Amino acid sequence: MRNHAALSEEFNKDEARVDWHDETLWFIRQKRDRAVHAIPEWEWLRETGSQIKNNVLSNLSTYLEQFETNALKNGVQVHWAADAKEHNEIVLSIMKRHQADRMVKSKSMLTEECHLNDFLAENGVEVIDSDLGERIVQLAKEPPSHIVLPCIHKKKEEIGDLFHEHLGTASGEADPQVLTEAARQHLRDTFLTRKVALTGVNFAIAETGEFVVCTNEGNADMGAHLSDVHIACMGIEKIIPERKHLSVFLRLLTRSATGQPITTYSSHFMKPRQGQEMHIVLVDNGRSRQLGRPDFRNSLKCIRCGSCMNTCPVYRRSGGHSYHTTIAGPIGAILAPNLDMKDHADLPFASTLCGSCSNVCPVKIDIHDQLYKWRQVLVKEGHVDAVKAAGMKAMAYTFANPSVFEVAGKSGRWFMKNFPSLVSNRLNPWYKEREMPEPPKESFREWYSKNRKKS
Ligand code: SF4
């Protein structure tokens, strides 16, 4: 079974990589802080963004239907997918209708969630990811490790080796400028020869039926504008009521993500250009179920900025792949159990509950509270390790009975003093990275009763 602790241990074997990963993400967190502190109305923006999303979640079906009506009026073909399978089949059917076996795709975490690339490959369709980070992990046959910075776990030398193998750059070449130029040439050819382009969606506007795609590289625009068929795929929570609400979210998004004041390209797509076909696929895939969980519905407010990952001390030192789910980090840990509670039961425990994620979240999701609440749900549903569950029960009994607590404390101190290896050994994961402290001579209770008597 996949397990965050075991996968983190793998990542931690390369200590230099861990340090550099940690420092790079912290650098981005600091950039975010500077950008945020530069605008006095930041907290107002967060509150407004959060309230707009509250409204969206309370009226989701109304806004989605309004969006569909307006998109149809604009000449866009609208599809509804209940789950990942339906989403993938819809995309494949469009490809087949156009007899296309090649596609260029910009960054879309939804298609990662639905494992679209693998599905299309099994059905004879070649997909080229056009976001640079996504292309790098695609060449490495790895999933993205971060929602904004998909290859943040890779060193430039490793990227150089990949490009040497796949794009023919010189062996040992690791200059980012040279590598970026090689990727640029390679992708340009892809853009010019693909009939079908797929993009994600950052925001879909109910009022107008348009959608907005934010990228720093302009790759979504290149793909969409040069293709005969543009397919845009979005989770149903991406809807916002009116165009004016973009002014809030666009200001929140990139400041939180990378510390930039605005994304380089925020492109609006409303209708297909003459001769082009435009499709939008609206995907549920468990979102309605999450909406029905009062404690967890707020997780659907997420605008995928990634700042909860950049700030999380666990994410920074365990790497995105240790979360074994499409969306890593704190937000992934509260979204994934909704999709598969058993398979992701370890994730809400991969947190210190320090609350830094909730502090930086631009739409005020109570992430650390939800992590704590998921733990309670998972324990009740029986999805925690049997040894841990038995240990917790024993601890609860001990804490609830003062005489048992006293005896346990005394014997624990005696064992720690006389047989330290019984406590601190390789079988006890707590001591793998820790020094065992000197056991105290007496408990606080013993000290207190002695000193109180004296006084
Ligand atoms: S939960 Fe909040 S901080 Fe994390 S990615 Fe989503 S919007 Fe950003």
Instruction: Judge residue 4's burial from the number of C-beta atoms within 10 Å of its C-beta, 0-12 exposed, 13-18 middle, 19 or more buried.
Output: buried
> Dmax over Cα atoms in the chain, in whole Å?
94
- The verdict on the CB of residue 333 being under 6 Å from ligand 1 is no
Residue in 297, 307, 314, 370 to alter for ligand 1 test, most ligand atoms within 8 A of Cβ: 307
Identify the sign of the CA torsion 330, 332, 335, 340: negative
Q: How many CB atoms lie within 10 A of CB 391?
A: 11
Cβ partners under 8 Å of residue 357, min gap 6: 308, 311, 312, 329, 330, 331, 351, 367, 368
Q: Is the pLDDT of residue 431 over 90?
A: no
User: Could you tell me which residues come within 8 angstroms of residue 204 by beta carbon, excluding any fewer than 6 positions away?
Assistant: 67, 210, 211, 212, 234, 238, 239, 240, 280
Mean pLDDT over each residue of the chain, to the nearest integer? 95
Task: Using CB atoms within 10 Å of the CB of residue 124, give its burial: 0 to 12 exposed, 13 to 18 middle, 19+ buried.
Answer: exposed
The pLDDT of residue 49 is 98
Instruction: Flag whether pLDDT at 359 surpasses 70.
Output: yes
Q: Which atom number of ligand 1 is nearest to the Cα of residue 330?
A: 4
Say how many Å lie between the CA of residue 367 and the centre of ligand 1: 9
Cβ(358) to ligand 1 under 6 A? no
Q: Tell me, what's the pLDDT at 454?
A: 65
Q: Which atom of ligand 1 is nearest to the CA of 257?
A: 8
What does the pLDDT look like over 278-312, one tens digit per residue? 999 999 999 999 999 999 999 999 999 999 999 99
Looking at residue 32, its pLDDT comes to 98
Confidence of residue 389 (pLDDT cuts 50, 70, 90): confident
pLDDT digits (tens, 9 = 90+) for 194-220: 899 999 999 999 999 999 999 999 999
Which pLDDT does position 195 carry in this prediction?
Answer: 93
Cα–ligand 1 centroid distance for 364 (angstroms): 8
365 C-alpha to center of ligand 1: Å? 7
Query: Going by CA atoms, what residue is nearest to atom 7 of ligand 1?
Result: 302
pTM metric for this prediction: 0.91
Question: What value does the CA radius of gyration of the chain take, rounded to a whole number of Å?
Answer: 25
Cβ–ligand 1 distance for 332 under 6 Å, the answer: no
Asked if 416 and 423 touch (Cβ cutoff 8 Å), the reply is yes
Ligand 1 atom nearest the C-alpha of 147 is 5
Q: Is any ligand 1 atom within 6 A of the Cβ of residue 361? A: yes
- How many whole angstroms from 47 Cα to the centroid of ligand 1? 14
CB 25 within 8 A of CB 252: no
Answer whether 195's CB lies under 8 Å from 229's CB. yes
Q: Is the pLDDT of residue 455 over 80?
A: no
Quick one: tokens of 391?
């240990």
CB distance 371 to ligand 1 below 6 Å: no
Give CB contacts under 8 A, 24+ apart, made by 164-171: 165/139, 166/139
- 279: closest CA among 345, 227, 337? 227
Nearest residue (by CA) to ligand 1, atom 2, is 361
